[in-house]
């Protein structure tokens, strides 16, 4: 087999490997997003069926924590590092925003809704 044919075969093999890998990764991410969305919906349903008042109070408290985290994340940083509650709420806001972006990009293809 000439060298040119081997290079062409290797190029096709690499292309197919990359394509199949990307398709599998996309399927796994879509499955994870659908599972996460389903778990969040189940938590909301169970919470509401247990106690609507506590669910609303918990949602209000979570909103306050996320608002404080957003304020800590986007305001001009003070001298030194964040400590205590400020660091915790900023981390919570960042994790929630990352989860929301993940769901926005991958759960839109979920046909479970």
Whether the pTM exceeds 0.85: the reply is no
Higher-pLDDT residue of 37, 1: 37
Rounded to the nearest 10 degrees, what angle do helices 52-74 and 3-50 cross at? 130
User: For 15-46, how does the pLDDT look when each residue is reduced to its tens digit (9 = 90+)?
Assistant: 888 899 999 988 888 888 888 888 988 999 99
pLDDT at 108: 78
Q: What is the pLDDT of residue 109?
A: 72
Q: Read off the tokens for 104.
A: 């926005």
More confident residue, 8 or 17: 17
**Packed helices 52-74 and 85-106: angle between N→C axes, nearest 10 degrees:** 100
39-98 tens-digit pLDDT: 988 999 999 999 999 999 999 999 999 999 999 888 876 676 667 888 899 899 999 999
CB 35, CB 55: distance < 8 Å = no
Q: In Å, how far from its chain's centre is CA 4? A: 44
* pLDDT score at 8: 77
Helix ranges (DSSP H) in 1-113? 3-50, 52-74, 85-106
């Amino acid at each position: 087999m000439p060298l040119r044919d081997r290079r062409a075969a290797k190029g096709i093999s690499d292309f197919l490997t990359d394509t199949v890998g990307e398709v599998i990764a996309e399927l796994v991410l879509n499955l994870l997003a659908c599972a996460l969305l389903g778990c969040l919906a189940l938590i909301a349903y169970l919470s509401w069926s247990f106690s609507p008042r506590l669910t609303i109070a918990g949602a209000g408290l979570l909103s306050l924590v996320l608002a404080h985290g957003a304020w800590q994340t986007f305001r001009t940083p003070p001298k030194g590092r964040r400590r205590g509650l400020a660091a915790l709420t900023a981390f919570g806001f960042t994790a929630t925003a990352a989860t929301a972006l993940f769901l926005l990009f991958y759960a839109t293809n979920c046909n479970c809704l």
